[in-house]
């Protein structure tokens, strides 16, 4: 991990330059262009050839030969998968699902309308989108938590049709825990299809896989690129980047806790960003020591080491205000505040996807169980975007009604605005009505 110590404005500029580099950590232009070309070809093939293209790419990329009739898991397949999951795991998934459901139910807005004495009315009608497609990574890895975090909010929002896609393993199956989580959360259909071909199928539909209105869920660089390219044909949640954590800690923080938080994000992938901001040199030193000790012994030691070497840093700040300013600048996906007065620090943070307060709130609490969504903005997007919520699966329609009295009162202003913009027919649409009622 890099170590920065801030004494003056030049030091601040160096840190900000490093943070900008971290926040924009993407593939080189040539690599990204090559990936985009490959993904465009997949999308076009699926759009033109449907299920045949999905089968071809599944065989090429996943090594599994599936016909279109084998894409969807049957009720028998689903029951068989669930029966493989230990009962205590099912119980855990049920508890996590209920926490997520309760949290997301709290932030639902309601339709409203307001009437005036003259009989006019305006308001907003809030309705769920008709369908959603959820992408869940698969293959060697499996993520039942991602299943819950995507499907439960959609179900809370009232979405009726929820299709989940996930890449098949070498034997053509989807991990039983993923299937169990999908069933618990409320998926209506489950498909053993992944990659850019699955995104294209959800966006444009095939004979077997229905087109949806919105696609959510994390994936690799090809899946992320596919989501970006189909945006417009459908809505998407976000273009997710690599994992991020920033920790603000004071001298009283436990270096083992701080190190554990950095390591937990570093093990995700080599592009994960892991930052510590502290005014304490002693804590910085102890944390670095603990990170080195634990990283070497972990199963994913190579990934952790590369991540911390590339995008890991300890920034020794003159005071907490400097730490807060830098965190607001980098806008991390996760922020862990391990200080004596954590709430006071958090009150000054305006740019972060999720804030974990205090020594007893590891990021894993939010990743898996507490209820808030773990699908969070990355790459500094927390400056202007939000975590996934049930509201992301709903839409607003404005509704208005004008009485005769109200139109007579407002007609002149409306006609004048239309004339000001040179839109004669707009003005006339008001004038003709006024003539009829006078």
134 contacts 162 by C-beta, under 8 angstroms: yes
333 is catalytic: yes
390 contacts 369 by C-beta, under 8 angstroms: no
Which of 211, 258, 259 lies closest to 235 in space, CA to CA? 211
433: number of CA atoms within 13 Å, CB side?
18
Query: Which residues on neighbouring strands pair with residue 164, listed in sequence order?
Result: 134, 190
User: Do the bridges between strand 2-5 and strand 312-316 make them parallel or antiparallel, or are there none, so unpaired?
Assistant: parallel
Task: Tell me the C-alpha distance between 241 and 333, whole Å.
Answer: 10
Query: Which residues on neighbouring strands pair with residue 314, listed in sequence order?
Result: 3, 276
Task: Tell me the C-alpha distance between 265 and 287, whole Å.
Answer: 15
Q: Which of 175, 257, 334, 374 is catalytic?
A: 334
Environment class of 170 (CB within 10 Å of its CB; exposed 0-12, middle 13-18, buried 19+): exposed
150 contacts 240 by C-beta, under 8 angstroms: no
CA 42 to chain centre: 24
User: Do the bridges between strand 214-216 and strand 2-5 make them parallel or antiparallel, or are there none, so unpaired?
Assistant: unpaired
56 is catalytic: no
Instruction: Tell me the two tokens of residue 1.
Output: 């991990």
Task: Tell me the C-alpha distance between 14 and 243, whole Å.
Answer: 23
Positive or negative torsion for Cα 323, 324, 328, 329? negative
143 contacts 171 by C-beta, under 8 angstroms: no
How many of the other CB atoms lie within 10 Å of CB of 148? 24
Q: Which of 175, 257, 333, 374 is catalytic?
A: 333
Query: Which residues on neighbouring strands pair with residue 291, listed in sequence order?
Result: none
Which of 367, 368, 337 lies closest to 258 in space, CA to CA? 337
Task: Tell me the C-alpha distance between 408 and 204, whole Å.
Answer: 47
- Tally the residues of the chain: 438
Helix (H, G, I), strand (E, B) or coil at 66: coil
Query: Which residues on neighbouring strands pair with residue 247, listed in sequence order?
Result: 276, 336
Helix (H, G, I), strand (E, B) or coil at 212: coil
Q: What residues are annotated to the active site?
A: 333-334
């Amino acid at each position: 991990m890099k170590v920065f110590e801030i004494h003056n404005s030049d030091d601040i500029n160096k840190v900000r330059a490093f943070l900008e580099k971290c926040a924009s950590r993407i593939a080189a232009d040539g690599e990204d262009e090559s990936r985009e070309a490959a993904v465009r070809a997949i999308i076009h093939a699926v759009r033109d050839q449907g299920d045949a293209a999905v089968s071809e790419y599944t065989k090429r990329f996943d090594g599994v030969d599936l016909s279109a009739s084998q894409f969807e898991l049957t009720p028998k397949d689903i029951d068989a998968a669930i029966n493989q999951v230990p009962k205590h795991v099912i119980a855990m998934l049920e508890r996590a699902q209920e926490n997520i459901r309760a949290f997301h139910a709290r932030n639902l807005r309601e339709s409203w309308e307001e009437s005036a004495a003259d009989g006019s009315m305006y308001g907003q009608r809030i309705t769920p989108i008709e369908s959603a497609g959820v992408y869940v990574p698969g293959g060697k890895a499996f993520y039942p938590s991602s299943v819950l975090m995507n499907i439960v909010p959609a179900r809370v929002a009232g979405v009726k049709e929820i299709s989940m896609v996930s890449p098949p393993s070498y034997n053509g199956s989807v991990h039983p825990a993923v299937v169990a989580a999908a069933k618990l959360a409320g998926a209506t259909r489950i498909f053993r299809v992944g990659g850019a071909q699955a995104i294209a199928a959800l966006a444009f539909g095939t004979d077997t896989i229905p087109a949806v209105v919105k696609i959510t869920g994390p994936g690799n660089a090809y899946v992320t690129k596919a989501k970006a390219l189909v945006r417009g044909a459908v809505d998407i949640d976000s273009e997710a980047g690599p994992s991020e954590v920033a920790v603000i800690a004071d001298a009283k923080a436990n270096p083992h806790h701080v190190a554990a938080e950095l390591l937990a994000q570093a093990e995700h992938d080599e592009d994960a960003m892991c930052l510590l901001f502290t005014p304490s040199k002693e804590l910085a030193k102890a944390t670095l020591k603990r990170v080195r000790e634990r990283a070497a012994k972990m199963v994913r030691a190579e990934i952790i080491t590369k991540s911390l070497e590339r995008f890991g840093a300890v920034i020794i700040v003159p005071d907490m205000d400097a730490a807060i300013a830098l965190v607001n600048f980098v806008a991390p996906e996760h922020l862990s505040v391990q200080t004596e007065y954590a709430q006071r620090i958090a009150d000054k943070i305006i740019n972060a996807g999720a804030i974990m307060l205090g020594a007893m709130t590891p990021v894993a609490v939010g990743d898996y169980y507490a209820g808030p969504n773990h699908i969070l903005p990355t790459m500094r997007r927390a400056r202007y975007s939000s975590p996934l919520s049930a509201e992301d699966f709903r839409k607003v329609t404005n509704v208005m009604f004008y009485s005769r009295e109200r139109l007579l009162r407002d007609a002149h202003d409306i006609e004048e605005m239309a004339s000001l913009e040179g839109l004669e027919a707009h003005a006339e649409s008001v004038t003709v009505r006024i003539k009829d009622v006078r």
